[in-house]
């Protein structure tokens, strides 16, 4: 879907006026809906819907061997799948570039130990560790993918439960793990400092958060910042345009403010007692 | 001060249904058994498997004597001659444009079925063919009328009237085609200071009211210089959110229902109309008002 010049002009003037097409201000987010633990066979899962953007995230766990560089750390891997249901552009290998971009940005954002502490995932130094495999499925694209994905990932990790390891036996070269037999005897991950990504698009002369897909088409450039506890973990620029240094600084400040606000809002929701009433996708 | 961010759990989702004392018909899901095959004939939206007649789409059952069909809740637009549609140009070809009208196949707008600028009746020459992209290019929005339906279901459009043509500054929103109520006119100049085109294909165009009708030259001009004033912009934004609220609650869309929703929405900020509670509130109030005016 491409917009015509007149529609773009309309959006552009709206952003200048601080009154966007749906009535939002430049720094205003659309309402979101979150559902957790909806994939029964995953260790933790979440689905986030932000207007027309729909993201499903599931976390799986595997026992793996730690890398030689970080013998006392676990692993985390991201995988993004662009469903062709989201947009016809994703058909075949169409979504691969986007998927790769999101994957890389997430990997970078979670790299810092201050953002996400992997040492808790270590079972036996140098020999065994847990590997978290975070699968992200894009079900619908309505703009602002990065933010939605990062929020959904954080929510899924929040609810991820790792089986408790009771004892580790070394038998020669073999490592035997004894995992608690009780299903509910699990360890929850501490993800309060997991990074949140915020996209700031530059439309005309102004910076806008949470762009809709129409607004994304009008943006000359966009900066994605990943922020964990008021610290930047990753910054990447998307789009073809360039940014003036002042605009960059402005968008980074705005990004960090929005991220901390998003983080508080998300954690508030995650702490709410969730009843066992599955909603799923059927409206 | 930044505006508040609203995240909610799915289980706190508000019920968008506004059906009061109305019987909700049974909805068949794809693969669901409708009946034993022998007694009924297979209609649209159904298929035979083993000895059963099953639904192939999600929808409600419709029966004419022995013919059973399932009418889908959501479907693409099935055009009929005379329908007003809003569409987006997807391709410029030889002597014709391809238009996305939310149908299964792209619609076609022939160069010979548009009013070219400067004179209504003149021959289309080779020059015109070369100029086609200057009249309408990819991405442009048009309003048009269905002239013909081809055997494969694709549509042929025409814009041979001053009311049709290229659309300028405004907002397009998409709703289910089944929600657009068919009426005499689909062009409305609302008294609140905006115009809407309710395309039968579920595309709705909202713009500020055009006053200068006289210098309209076949509808191929876009005024990109003009800045839509803030008040008009608010009206357009409010109408957009109201229509989406009504569409979410599956209320039929026509001038009266949209105006009622607009009136009811005035107690909210435009941006607050994105919040589900506000959307349902407006839908309920609108439905109530519609019921009252129907009974009166």
The predicted-structure confidence for B143-154, as pLDDT tens digits, reads as follows 999 999 999 989
Do A33 and B9 count as a contact with CB atoms less than 8 A apart?
Answer: yes
Which of A94-108, A200-214, A230-244, A253-267 comes out lowest in average pLDDT? A230-244
Residues of B in contact with A9 (CB under 8 A): 169, 224
Section B254-263 average pLDDT: 92
Domains detected in chain A: 5-272 (3.30.230.70)
- Coil, strand or helix at A87: coil
Task: Work out the percent of chain B whose per-residue pLDDT is above 90.
Answer: 40
Closest CA of chain A from B161, distance in Å: 21
**Which pTM value belongs to this model?**
0.87
Task: Work out the percent of chain B whose per-residue pLDDT is above 70.
Answer: 90
Residues B36-82 have pLDDT tens digits of 767 788 888 899 888 888 999 998 888 888 899 998 888 899 888 99
Residues A178-227 have pLDDT tens digits of 887 777 778 888 888 899 999 999 988 888 999 998 998 888 889 999 99
Sorting pLDDT into bands at 50, 70 and 90, what band is B214? very low
CA pair distance A49, A35, nearest whole angstrom: 9
Do A261 and B224 count as a contact with CB atoms less than 8 A apart?
Answer: no
B195 vs A: CB within 8 A: no
CA pair distance B46, B52, nearest whole angstrom: 10
Interface of A with B in 29-68 (CB under 8 A): 29-36, 47, 51
Q: Is the pLDDT of residue B216 over 90?
A: no
Section A228-239 average pLDDT: 87
Angle made by CA atoms B56, B60, B65, in degrees to the nearest 5 = 95
Task: Work out the percent of chain A whose per-residue pLDDT is above 90.
Answer: 24
A257 vs B: CB within 8 A: yes
Do B13 and A14 count as a contact with CB atoms less than 8 A apart?
Answer: no
Q: Is the pLDDT of residue B224 over 80?
A: no
The ipTM value here is 0.87
Which residues lie closer than 8 Å to A142 by C-beta, 6 or more apart? A50, A51, A52, A53, A54, A212, A213
Which of A28-37, A122-131, B106-115, B204-213 comes out lowest in average pLDDT? B204-213
B175 vs A: CB within 8 A: no
Which residues lie closer than 8 Å to B201 by C-beta, 6 or more apart? B77, B79, B83, B85, B86, B87, B101, B102, B103, B177, B180
Q: How many CB atoms lie within 10 A of CB A171?
A: 7
B20-72 to CATH, choices 2.40.50.100, 3.40.605.10, 1.20.1260.10, 2.130.10.10: 2.40.50.100
Which residues lie closer than 8 Å to A39 by C-beta, 6 or more apart? A45, A56, A58
Sorting pLDDT into bands at 50, 70 and 90, what band is A283? very low
Closest CA of chain B from A277, distance in Å: 7
Q: Is the pLDDT of residue B115 over 90?
A: no
Residues B11-43 have pLDDT tens digits of 777 777 777 666 677 889 999 988 876 778 888
Section B174-185 average pLDDT: 90
CA pair distance A107, A113, nearest whole angstrom: 12
Sorting pLDDT into bands at 50, 70 and 90, what band is B119? low
pLDDT in the model for residue A174: 81
**Nearest residue, CB atoms, A23 vs list B7, B137, B238:** B238
Phi, psi torsion values for A46, nearest 5 degrees:
-155, 150
């Amino acid at each position: 879907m491409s917009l015509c010049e007149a529609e773009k002009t309309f959006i552009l003037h709206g952003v200048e006026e601080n009154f966007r097409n749906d009535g939002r201000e430049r720094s205003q987010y659309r309402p979101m809906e979150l559902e957790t633990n909806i994939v029964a066979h995953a260790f933790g899962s979440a689905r986030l819907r932000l207007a027309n953007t729909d993201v499903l995230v599931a976390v799986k766990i595997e026992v793996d061997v730690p890398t030689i560089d970080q013998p006392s750390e676990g692993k985390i891997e991201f995988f993004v799948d662009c469903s062709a249901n989201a947009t016809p552009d994703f058909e075949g290998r169409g979504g691969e570039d986007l998927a790769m971009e999101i994957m890389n940005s997430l990997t970078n954002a979670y790299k810092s130990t201050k953002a996400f502490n992997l040492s808790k995932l270590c079972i036996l130094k140098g020999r065994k560790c847990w590997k978290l495999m975070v699968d992200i499925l894009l079900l619908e694209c309505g703009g602002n993918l990065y933010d939605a994905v990062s929020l959904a990932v954080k929510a899924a990790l929040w609810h991820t439960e790792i089986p408790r390891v009771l004892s580790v036996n070394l038998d020669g070269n073999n490592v035997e793990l004894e995992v608690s037999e009780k299903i509910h005897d699990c360890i929850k991950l501490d993800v309060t400092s997991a990074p949140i990504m915020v996209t700031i698009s530059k439309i005309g002369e102004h910076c806008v958060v949470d762009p809709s897909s129409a607004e994304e088409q009008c943006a000359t450039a966009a900066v994605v910042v990943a922020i964990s506890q008021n610290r930047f973990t990753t910054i990447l620029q998307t789009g073809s345009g360039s940014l003036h240094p002042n605009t960059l600084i402005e968008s980074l400040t705005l990004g960090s403010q929005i991220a901390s606000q998003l983080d508080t809002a998300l954690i508030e929701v995650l702490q709410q007692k969730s009843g066992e009433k599955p909603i799923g996708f059927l409206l | 001060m930044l505006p508040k961010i609203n995240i909610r759990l799915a289980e706190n989702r508000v019920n968008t249904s506004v059906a009061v004392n109305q019987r909700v018909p049974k909805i068949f899901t794809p693969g669901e058994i409708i009946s034993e095959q022998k007694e009924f004939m297979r209609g649209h939206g159904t298929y035979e498997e083993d000895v059963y007649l099953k639904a192939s789409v999600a929808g409600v059952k419709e029966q004419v004597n022995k013919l059973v069909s399932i009418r889908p809740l959501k479907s693409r637009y099935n055009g009929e001659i005379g329908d007003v549609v809003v569409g987006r140009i997807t391709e410029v070809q030889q002597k014709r444009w391809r238009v996305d009208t939310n149908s299964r196949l792209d619609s076609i707008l022939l160069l010979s079925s548009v009013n070219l600028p400067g004179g209504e009746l003149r021959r289309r020459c080779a020059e015109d063919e070369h100029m086609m992209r200057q009249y309408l290019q990819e991405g442009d929005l048009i309003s048009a009328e269905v002239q013909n339906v081809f055997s494969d279901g694709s549509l042929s459009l025409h814009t041979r009237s001053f009311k049709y043509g290229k659309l300028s500054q405004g907002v397009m929103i998409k709703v289910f085609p089944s929600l657009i109520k068919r009426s005499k006119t689909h062009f409305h100049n609302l008294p609140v200071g905006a115009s809407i085109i309710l395309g039968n294909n579920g595309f709705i165009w909202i713009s500020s009211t055009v006053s200068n009708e006289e210098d309209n030259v076949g509808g191929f001009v876009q005024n990109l210089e003009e800045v839509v004033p803030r008040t008009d912009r608010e009206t357009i934004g409010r109408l957009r959110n109201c229509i989406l609220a009504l569409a979410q609650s599956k209320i039929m869309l026509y001038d009266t229902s949209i105006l009622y929703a607009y009136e009811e929405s005035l107690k909210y900020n435009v941006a607050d109309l994105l919040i589900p509670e506000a959307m349902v509130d407006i839908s309920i109030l609108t439905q109530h008002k519609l019921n009252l005016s129907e009974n009166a």
